[in-house]
Every structure is written in structure tokens, then in C-alpha cells.
Amino acid sequence: MIVLGDDHYGDELTLRLSAISDTRLLGDDTALTTFMQDLVTRIGMTVIAGPLIATEAGPPEKAGKSAVVILAESHAAIHTYPHLREIFADIFSCKPFREADVLDEFHRLVGDYEITERTLTRRGEEWPRDVHAARRLWSTHRAALSSGT
């Protein structure tokens, strides 16, 4: 399980899934809308906007779909490339979530796949949870930038 500590804002999981066994739904707006809704529901996030689906036309190696959901906890986005049998995914949240749940939802969408790239990054390591501390940190940062230090 991805666990958030008190010393950072949240975790970002990025994935590149390759050798996708079933690419039929990677170009289907309705299927991708349902997938994004199911994914964020399963990991316990709250949708503010979306899913928004966009089509990238062009040569087959660049053609695909992008889907994004704006969450109260941050965002979830995917980019599909049916011709290449690949998906890129980015889930960023200030709320803990299980990576296994994310991977299971992708299995439900496309069947088998290989995880070609996987990164879990702790974001906002110095992010204070106290609003007043955040304001002081930002003010100090801006002052340092304006003085050239």
C-alpha cells in the first residue's frame, strides 16, 4: 500500500504498460470514460471534473486517446496508443491509494500487459500541511528568488 507521511504532499504513480493483450477498448471514448470512473472510485478518490476524453489523430504510432479526471485529491490521466499496444498513466494524490487496485483496473480494461516503466514519487517533500507555514515557506522562497539567491 502506498502510505503518505506527514512530511510530503502526496504520491505520484506513473506507469507505462506495454504488450497489451486486448487493445479493442483503447480507442473507445465510452469505455475509457467508464474505466476512468471505475478507477477513481476503486482507489477512493472524489471526482471534481471529468472524465474528459480527447483524440490524438495522426500517424498510427502517435494516434490514440487521452483521458483525464480532476480529483479533489489531485488528478488521474492516461494516454492510450492502440497501434503500439501501450498506455501511459499518471495518478497523483494527497490521499493514500493501493497500487494493486490501479493495476487491477488496467487488467480489467486490457487483459494482460507488461509494466515497462513504473515510478512512485513522493511529491512535495517540504510541503507543510499548515496553511500559515505554507505561506511563510512561499514568502521566503519568493524573497530568495527576487534577491537572486
**30 in any annotated domain:** yes
**2 in any annotated domain:** no
Q: Identify the CA nearest to 68 among candidates 40, 95, 43.
A: 40
Q: What is the pLDDT of residue 2?
A: 42
**114 in any annotated domain:** yes
Cell 472510485 belongs to residue? 41
Q: What is the mean pLDDT of residues 23-28?
A: 92
- What is the span of the domain harbouring residue 121? 10-147
Which residues, 6 or more positions from 13, have their beta carbon under 8 angstroms from its beta carbon? Answer: 2, 89, 90, 91, 92, 97, 99, 102, 118, 119, 120
| Reported confidence tier of residue 14, pLDDT bands at 50, 70, 90 | very high
Q: What is the pLDDT of residue 130?
A: 60
**4 in any annotated domain:** no
Q: What is the mean pLDDT of residues 36-65?
A: 90
Looking at the structure of the chain, the number of domains it has is 1
pTM of the predicted structure, to 2 decimals: 0.75
Residue 40 near residue 51 (C-beta atoms within 8 A)? no
**24 in any annotated domain:** yes
**51 in any annotated domain:** yes
CATH of the domain at 67: 3.60.90.10
25 compared with 61, residue with greater pLDDT: 25
Residue 108, all three cell numbers: 480489467
